Amino acid sequence: MNDTPGALAGRRCLITGAASGIGAAIAVAYAREGAVVALADRDEPGLARTLAALPGAEEHTRHVVDLTDPEAVTATVEAVVESHGRIDVLVNCAGILDETPLVEMSLDTWQRMIDVDLTSVFLVCRAVVPRMLAAGGGRVVNVASQLGQKGGAGLTHYCAAKAGVIGFTKALAREVSAKGVLVNAIAPGPISTPLIDGLSARWRREKEAELPLGRFGLAEEVAPTAVLLASDPGGNLYTGQTLGPNSGDVMA
């Protein structure tokens, strides 16, 4: 039992994409706020690194899973519940990104993006939300992207998936909020993580010049928004919202 005082003291939290970048930063921030976290990702060494960075590491768990595999998702959620008793907070943060112009995009490239960045959110929510409803409440935080709001050249698949996450979030919020499950999205702007390493230098230069803050964010600057949405009373009035730690890229 983690009895560290903090905004998330004692909360049982499942975080996907926790091996790297924003998901890893959210895991660290949650654990610092007293949460017990279950880390899920397909990257086993990355999961071990995140676990080692968490305070109170003995009570946290890691789960290697390909989130596009429906049976593996179900088995992982069952394993998390077996280890921690329940899931109070779910953060869907796993994702991929690549730059491909529409005219060159194969159906496989499109489908892979939709599977990882959108369908995985559906699969994990489908496995976790019924348990939250049965328990009388919970919090879901879906990591979308500001590109799902404004679009981006060469990123039709990514933008479609992330706009899908925002729409999914609003619909699920309307479905379950009255039963105590609050569902929100975070749509970060460009954040310096391994995800954007593959994008062209030209994209990075142009992108930075466009931002009102003039710089990319850090994963540690996104994590506090995920803490807010999971916390009581700070997150109590948010549902169906898309919060934008985005260096001013999109002004909603």
Ligand X SMILES: NC(=O)c1ccc[n+]([C@@H]2O[C@H](COP(=O)([O-])OP(=O)(O)OC[C@H]3O[C@@H](n4cnc5c(N)ncnc54)[C@H](O)[C@@H]3O)[C@@H](O)[C@H]2O)c1
Q: Given the complex with ligand X, which of 160 and 196 has the nearer CB atom?
A: 196
Q: How far is the CB of 199 from ligand X (least distance, A)?
A: 9
The 3-state DSSP class for residue 15 equals: strand
Determine which residue in the list 2, 76, 119, 145 makes contact with ligand X, applying CB under 6 A: 145
DSSP secondary-structure letter at 102?
A: G
| Contact region with ligand X (CB under 6 A), list: 52-60, 131-139, 194-202, 224-232 | 194-202
Q: Given the complex with ligand X, which of 27 and 182 has the nearer CB atom?
A: 27
HSE-CB of 152 using CA atoms within 13 angstroms: 27
Determine which residue in the list 89, 93, 155, 227 makes contact with ligand X, applying CB under 6 A: 93
Q: How far is the CB of 97 from ligand X (least distance, A)?
A: 6
Determine which residue in the list 128, 195, 223, 226 makes contact with ligand X, applying CB under 6 A: 195
Q: Count of CB atoms within 10 A of residue 3's CB?
A: 9
DSSP per residue, 202-230: HHHHHHHHH-TT-S-B-HHHHHHHHHHHH
Distance between CA 87 and CA 160 in Å, rounded? 29
Nearest to 216 by CA among 193, 239, 233: 193
Q: Given the complex with ligand X, which of 231 and 242 has the nearer CB atom?
A: 242
| Contact region with ligand X (CB under 6 A), list: 17-25, 99-107, 175-183, 207-215 | 17-25
Question: Which single residue brings its beta carbon nearest to ligand X?
Answer: 21
For position 41 contacting ligand X by CB under 6 A, the verdict is yes
Determine which residue in the list 105, 114, 160, 196 makes contact with ligand X, applying CB under 6 A: 196
Q: Where are the alpha helices (DSSP H) in the chain?
A: 21-32, 44-53, 70-84, 107-114, 120-135, 147-150, 156-176, 201-210, 219-230
| Contact region with ligand X (CB under 6 A), list: 6-14, 15-23, 28-36, 83-91 | 15-23
Tokens, residue 174: 């309307």
Applying CB under 6 A, the site for ligand X has a residue count of 29
The 3-state DSSP class for residue 36 equals: strand
Span 96-115, contacts to ligand X by CB under 6 A: 96-97
DSSP secondary-structure letter at 178?
A: G
Residues that bind ligand X (CB under 6 A): 17, 19-23, 41-43, 46, 65-68, 93-97, 116, 143, 145, 188, 190-191, 193-196
